[in-house]
Amino acid sequence: MKKGILLFILICCLTACSSTVRVRRGDTLYSIAKRKNVPLRALIQENNLSAPYVLKIGQTLKIPEQKTYTVRKGDTLYSIARKFDSNVTDVARQNNIKPPYTLKPGQKLVVKSWDETNTTVNTTTANKGKSALNPPEAKAKNTPTKSAIQIPKSAQGKKFNRPVSGKIIEGFGTSKSGVHNDGINISAKAGTPILAADKGTVAYAGNDLKGYGNLILLKHDNGWFTAYAHADKITVKKGAVIKAKQTIGTVGKTGNVTTPQLHFEVRYKTKPVDPNLYLK
């Protein structure tokens, strides 16, 4: 099960950068990422690169903006993640920290990076009524977390259509294990059409973000984004204008899940909100 996102990703299309680097003889993406202390995937997506990632001497690459934090006595990965409005999954992944997430005072952690700017999505995945689009809600496994996000009047009152019908198997918020889910995970039969929650534009469609599998990110009016992960198939392309309830893909189990499901996020700009509060 996945916890947490990226839109994840709402993410890669609108990121900002703070500096650039000129490719030197012998450079590789890996060596540049290591030298600049940025995630390799962030470097790839910031520069819209594709396999086999051939670099040319003199080529200019954008370096994603990021911040670091020095661990203090008493800090935990969870407390640090919440301090920087992030989540355990993102921070652990960015710093290659494995369970049980042991930290040492003085240790430096990347706490803000490419997908956490003030432009689009953060995406970490989360693991994970009576009409076809509005089934009865099941009790979620996670504890809901109220959002302190200030949404301007121009964006308030927003409601989205349910992307698929099914049981909520992972809810929004932080679970007892300390893993934070930025959306909800809905169980559905493989091949079930995924419907756009509202009209918008495809900001991302692909499988570059580890853990999400096939992912679709839609940009809506007034700063709203929705994300759809673990799809079996994606039936839209980046830049396409989408109608509300239009099929954008089908349910699958790609990424870090083992059963067919849809990871669904609602975000206002970069901030995730509980989708249940915004569904019709």
In the chain, what are the domains? 17-52+60-64 (3.10.350.10), 67-112 (3.10.350.10), 153-277 (2.70.70.10)
For residue 122, what pLDDT band results from cuts at 50, 70 and 90? very low
User: Which of 14-28, 30-44, 66-80, 159-173 is the most confident on average?
Assistant: 159-173
User: Which of 113-117, 192-196, 211-215, 268-272 is the most confident on average?
Assistant: 192-196
Report the pLDDT value the prediction gives residue 65, as an integer from 0 to 100: 67
For residue 15, what pLDDT band results from cuts at 50, 70 and 90? very low
Residue with tokens 């799809």: 231
* Averaged pLDDT score across all residues of the chain: 77
63 has a pLDDT exceeding 90: no
What is the signed CA dihedral for 210, 257, 123, 202, rounded to 10 degrees?
90
Nearest one of 90, 74, 78, 17 to 48, comparing CA atoms: 17
Angle at 227 between CA 226 and CA 230, to 5 degrees: 155
What is the signed CA dihedral for 154, 156, 160, 166, rounded to 10 degrees?
160
83 has a pLDDT exceeding 80: no
Of 160 and 111, which is predicted with more confidence?
Answer: 160
Report the pLDDT value the prediction gives residue 134, as an integer from 0 to 100: 26
Percent of the chain with pLDDT over 90: 30
For residue 13, what pLDDT band results from cuts at 50, 70 and 90? very low
Lowest mean pLDDT among 19-28, 150-159, 233-242: 150-159
- Average of pLDDT values for 168-180? 80
Strands of the chain, DSSP E: 17-22, 60-64, 67-70, 108-112, 167-170, 173-174, 180-181, 184-187, 193-195, 200-206, 214-219, 224-234, 241-242, 247-251, 261-268, 271-273
- Average of pLDDT values for 152-164? 84
Report the pLDDT value the prediction gives residue 217, as an integer from 0 to 100: 92
Report the pLDDT value the prediction gives residue 145, as an integer from 0 to 100: 40
- Average of pLDDT values for 7-22? 50
For residue 216, what pLDDT band results from cuts at 50, 70 and 90? very high
- Average of pLDDT values for 221-240? 93
CA gap 9, 203 in Å, rounded:
9
Say if CB 128 and CB 2 are below 8 A apart. yes
- Average of pLDDT values for 107-130? 45
Report the pLDDT value the prediction gives residue 50, as an integer from 0 to 100: 77
Report the pLDDT value the prediction gives residue 101, as an integer from 0 to 100: 82
- Average of pLDDT values for 86-95? 78
CA gap 83, 29 in Å, rounded:
31
